[in-house]
A = this chain, B = another copy of it.
Amino acid sequence: MSARVRIKDIAEKVGVSTALVSYVMNGKEKEKRVGQDIVKKIREAAGELNYQPNRIAQSLRTGSTKTIGLIVADIAIPFFGQLARVIEDEASKNGFTVIIGSSDEDAIKQGSLIDTFSYRQVDGLIIVPSDGTADQIAALVKQGMPLVLMDRYFPELETCHVCLDNYKASYEAVNHLISQGYQQITMIAYRSGMIHMHERIRGYREAMAAANFANYIKVLEVPYSFSRTETENSIEKCINGNKEIDALLFATNSLTTAGLNYINKMGIKVPDEIGIVGYDGNEAFDFFYAPITIVEQPLNEIGTKSVNTLISLMNDPDKIVRFDLSHSLNIRKSSR
């Protein structure tokens, strides 16, 4: 590697002190009243030598790394992949670099990611917290680490968050099904202590109750699993031969996928025999033989708001803001 050019090299070449070079490189020549000709000389020398500041040294000196740590539940899930991309873009627009970690919904792994990131002196953290990690988050808050929770949060903690208004989303999803004539709507969710799941379920329950279908309320909580087969089996056990279900509300994309596979297999007819609404669409649904209604999250908004909230938090640590954004109910048309 060709020896890196340092600020000192420029200073020597021009015949000034490192201080002046630093001022010029940081655009403070006006503020510090550096002479016009010297500014020009320094600029030229920097260009000739192809000077690149050393961020590490800057970070050590300034105490800021201009780095954001992002911990998502699973980077291999397109929803989080897309979110990561939006966040990276927005951060970069603001001069920040993002380091990404995938917790795989595992508290231990999340903890070690937090350690790694804090060891690396990130300026702030955006986290999609896993189940059972309220203590980790509380510890970060106590430390004073700038922090934005995304997609989920802990209501008992004083943190910023950017999430979907899950209650409203489920409520309206149920009403949509009802408006199509369905009544015996069952919800299929993951078993989880996290608020987003609870809110999705609560929205369902209250919408059902409001429509006087309280006696049809039925929630199947599937244990979280990376294996789709397992998830499908759980769903199968619930639906199989159950004549008292005429519609399904799936709480996540992976549950929808698993459920549709099962429905496909059994030859159950959508939408005649069963109505479907699922959270988060993907291109897979276009191959399904029938159109599927989905609860779509405002990805761009979630990502950009998370970044911007975090950045303002760095400047104003006590300003807690919370966003519960609105979904849209879209139809994923079948290409058949």
Contacts and interface: CB of A to CB of B under 8 A. Distances in A.
Contact of A81 (B78, B97, B262, B335): B78
B119 A55 contact: yes
Nearest to A260: B287
A99 interface: yes
Interface string A119-148: 111000000000000000000000111000
A264 interface: yes
Interface stretch (A9-17, A29-37, A56-64, A166-174): A56-64
A261 B335 contact: yes
A2 B80 CA distance: 32
Given A56-B60, A284-B287, A335-B265, A1 B144 contact: yes
Nearest to A282: B284
14 contacts: A74-B85, A76-B82, A78-B78, A78-B81, A81-B81, A88-B100, A97-B99, A97-B116, A98-B99, A98-B100, A261-B286, A264-B286, A264-B336, A283-B284
- Top 8 nearest A-B pairs (CB, nearest first) are A284-B284, A1-B144, A287-B287, A81-B81, A261-B335, A264-B335, A76-B82, A287-B288
